[in-house]
Structure 1
Amino acid sequence: MAEKEHDYLLATEPWPPHFGPKLADEGYFADIIYQAFQQVGKTAGILYTSWNRAFELGKKGKYDGLVGAFYAKERERLFSYSKPISTSNLVFFQKQGGQISYKALEDLSPYRIGIVRGYHYTDEFNKAHYLQKLEEVHTERNINLLLIGRLDLIVAEEKVTQYLLNTKFKNRNFSLEILEKPLVSHKLFLMIPKKSPKHDNVLADFNQGFSLLIQQGMVKEIMKKHGWRVDDVY
């Protein structure tokens, strides 16, 4: 949508199934953003690029918003945050019928845990040298290793893993289950650069439109259309 003329130009890196140019209506997250602006008579387009490029040009005011950002206090000097739009959960997956549970990370020390090389999970998890963390290059590989019994657990973003199971693994006769306690949950926002000349309008228009979507029950309908429950948002 970004190649057309819009009131607001946003940027981000594709992150299916949250958002991306190859998803139906660009994914639930982009769909919510577009419809929120439409509620107040505005249009937005999303330019898909690398996150680093979106961030670096965004903070200079070249874009009117960055899509799907986590909150970080150090960014408040450069950006404002919209109302929270969705939630990203980092969770542990095991094969269906597994008996693993935990209250503290130390409880997971007997198990082989698949992670993705270079990812930051949480400070505590990354520094937990007592855990058996086995690195791979992507989550898809870790799902395979879990399937064949080379791993006991994987830690991964919940929606991304479910998306992979429904696309890359849809013909495989197995299922995964999530350990009850997430490793961490992050709210996801539209992050508006303070150097954007449209900063005040973007923030006010989106928050107003998003509130109207919620009041009308349209967020629930958008989530349902994309195959998610409304409690996958909040």
Structure 2
Amino acid sequence: MRPLLCVLCLLGVMLAATASAEGRLRLVADNWPPFNDTGMPGGGLATSIVTTALARAGYASEYEEAPWARALMGVTEGRYDILINAWYNDARAQVGDFSKAYLNNRIRLLKRKGDSFRFKRQADLYPYSIAVVRDYAYSPEFDGDNHLNKVPVSSFSSAVRMLAAGRVDLTIEDEFVARYNLQREPEQVRDAVEFVDPPLGENTLHILVSLKHPAHRQIVERFERAIEAMKADGSYERLMRQHGF
């Protein structure tokens, strides 16, 4: 019995050490309704999906909102474990481990209503000023094109107000985010802008797990398996419907 007790004690110590090392995951995102917002049910669609998947993967978590630059820096430095609303780019892959996509985003240009601007290819944008949210990634092609005249701003609200006032020619945002936020803008702003067809492109939404976390690869793998299981059993689709998607 004594060797068996020793083995059981050793297993208990190992499990306790693993639980202590993993602990409660510290999640962060910027305020990005309808995907991330502490004032919305479940913290918004993306927050609901991520926290549900992590719980099913066996991880307790706590969620905090922070401005985008601070959230990304926090993951870089290891003060947060997971940025839950990241679009992929190479620079971010140097500081965190990306999961497979768990949501898709359609990226749309907006112009002033009545402007004659037409869009067929990215080169059509070169003569125009475009308000972009500072430190956001829109698409590799758009982000890396140095011919574009990008005007950095702090938020989509700032961008769309500049557009309505004629201070920039265009702005860009995820379609659902833009529609959600436009409903919260003054009528004179909301009625002054419109979407441009066709969409600029699509992006995929991922979690970004800090490389400072010793189990970053394991967290990503467990999260991905949980998302697959949620899609298989219908719980993913139920969360989408609950949030109006």
Give the TM-score, by structure 2 length: 0.69
* Secondary structure of residue in 2 paired with 1:127: coil
Counterpart AA for 1:189: H
Counterpart among 232, 237, 242 of residue 215 in structure 1:
232
Q: Distance in 2 between matches of 1:194 and 1:81?
A: 10
Q: May I ask how many residue pairs the two structures share in their alignment?
A: 219
Match of 1:195 among 204, 208, 212: 212
- Supply the distance in 2 between the matched residues of 1:118 and 1:55 (Cα, whole angstroms): 12
Deviation at 1:19, TM superposition (A): 0.5
Partner of 1:82: 99
In structure 1, runs of 5+ residues without a counterpart are 1-5, 229-234
Tell me whether 81-90 or 30-39 shows the greater mean CA deviation.
81-90
Report the 3-state secondary structure (helix = DSSP H, G, I; strand = E; otherwise coil) of the residue aligned with 2:39: coil
Distance 1:46 1:156, change over 3 A: same
Q: 1:118 to 1:126 in 2, by over 3 A?
A: farther
Contact 2:33 2:44 in 1 (8 A): yes
- Equivalent pair of 2:75/2:95 in contact (CA under 8 Å): no
Match of 1:20 in 2: 37
Q: Contact 2:84–2:208 (CA<8 Å) still a contact in 1?
A: yes
Aligned to 2:183, the other structure's residue is in SS state helix
What amino acid is the match of 2:184? T
Structure 2 Cα separation of the partners of residues 65 and 118 of structure 1: 20
CA contact (8 A) 2:29 2:36 kept: no
Q: Does the aligned pair in 2 maintain the 1:9–1:46 contact within 8 Å?
A: yes
Aligned partners of 1:88 and 1:187 also within 8 Å? yes
Letter in 1 for 2:80: Y
Whether 2:74 is the aligned partner of 1:57: answer yes
Output the CA distance in 1 between the equivalents of 2:151 and 2:74. Answer: 35
Instruction: Write out per-residue CA displacement over residues 160-199 of structure 1, whole angstroms, 9 at most, x where no aligned residue.
Output: 2111123335799859653333334332211112221332
1:221–1:94 Cα change, 3 Å: farther
Map 1:50-199 → 2, pairs under 5 A: 50-94=67-111, 100-107=117-124, 115-116=131-132, 122-123=142-143, 127-128=147-148, 138-140=155-157, 143=160, 153-169=170-186, 174=191, 177-199=194-216
Share of identical aligned residues, percent? 23
Task: Name whichever structure is richer in helix by fraction.
Answer: 2
SS in 1 for 2:101: coil
State how far apart, in whole Å, the 2-side matches of 1:57 and 1:147 are.
34
* Conservation of the 8 A alpha-carbon contact between 2:107 and 2:200: yes
Give yes or no for contact 2:75–2:83 (8 Å, CA) kept in 1. Answer: yes
